[in-house]
Chain A
């Protein structure tokens, strides 16, 4: 039986490297903790360095949920109140690396902005060269699907058009109709 015990012990030795790797991963994770509270540092008072968010979007969505949400809400309010386009670029960068609840929050914020300040969002989409696989556009189309198509397909196209045209000067309809049609097409693909 002692031999069995020794054999089991030897078997465990080949795991040493894996243990070391795990420890290194943990160490790396601990080092990331210094960036962990980046949103907590900025969501409340400090001026937000938009270039830093666009460059290192990954650092700005991890950690304390409330701070991440607070930071995104703060930027969203700035877009609403001051039409600060730079923050839309931040949202775009964050969406490229986000997932789960942060993605849902960003998409909801952009969805709400596209309803209340549709011109600013549609202009931003128009400035893109390709929209088909663009995560910003895809996430907006997906949120339109969730709100207008998923539970009630009837007259969803009209509802989506109304969503954008609601606060838009009729003079702009022609300018944006093709981009809205593309969003409707993309939204329907989620069915």
Chain B
């Protein structure tokens, strides 16, 4: 990787160590990705190795490890809590710069909706809509049943976030494409989960849309699907650093008042990991 910054040119090793330098500037971007907007901290040194500060934790590009443990390490026993980007820094980046989605669903999905939030790369919740994760049955490891928990990558392998639109099965708006990344969705071996609306949407007595069960997908109302579409397109158009991140499907922590769990921007630095 070659990047030019502050009139100096650097070649980087995959994990961010500087391979060679042309120019005399002592300011370096971190992990070879200047677009992440993180500058290496050359003053804070550990032994001979200057460290990088990745928002929440300090990182050492010599050992390719963080100095502090991952805040969500308990979820991912298969990996050391000090790892960076699942040891794959070429195709992954552990830095803010992605919009994410979070679906917080009730444990009892039957007829009970949860919340789907769109979170920009700075950790701000920019949209919150109702979502239903009810499928044919309750065993989330089985096909066609409730939407599995876990982390999904947003978009297909070619980077398309949305597909279709005006189809008689999924409503008038494009569907959001998801790919299994980690957690229950990977354990179950399930796939083909999407976020979408419905044709011939019905409303309740108050005129609110009724969300029908799915075959494992996340259902939102057609109006909300349009909102999600517009919000994400707007994020991508107005902020060149925004890219599709991940959707986290999780259960509501507090069932009594339906408050979603805290979601601090710091935790967004976490890269979800594959199961054992």
Contacts and interface: CB of A to CB of B under 8 A. Distances in A.
Interface residues of A, number: 36
A139 B144 contact: yes
A101 interface: yes
B265 to A, nearest CB: 26
B63 A101 contact: no
Contacts of A139: 136, 144, 215
B82 A100 contact: no
Contact of A151 (B64, B143, B177, B202): B202
A42 to B, nearest CB: 18
B170 interface: yes
Given A8-B65, A98-B192, A100-B194, A66 B87 contact: no
A18 B79 CA distance: 9
B215 A64 contact: no
B87 A99 contact: no
B213 A12 contact: no
Identify which of A22, A100, A102 gathers the most chain B CB atoms within 10 Å of its CB: A100
B86 A12 contact: no
Contact of B212 (A11, A15, A150): A150
A98 B143 contact: yes
Interface in B148-193: 156-157, 163-164, 167-170, 175, 177, 190-193
Nearest to A146: B212
Nearest to A11: B80
A150 B83 contact: no
B46 interface: yes
Contacts of B156: 64-65
A101 B194 contact: yes
Contact of B167 (A9, A69, A100, A150): A69
A106 B182 CA distance: 27
Interface of A: 1-2, 5, 8-9, 11-12, 15, 18-19, 22, 33, 61-62, 64-66, 69, 98-105, 107-109, 138-139, 142, 146, 150-151, 190
A12 B194 contact: no
A2 B190 contact: no
A99 to B, nearest CB: 4
Given A12-B80, A104-B170, 5 more contacts: A5-B62, A69-B164, A100-B215, A102-B192, A151-B212
B191 A66 contact: no
B29 interface: no
B192 A103 contact: yes
A1 B67 CA distance: 11
B213 A146 contact: yes
Contact of B215 (A8, A66, A103): A103
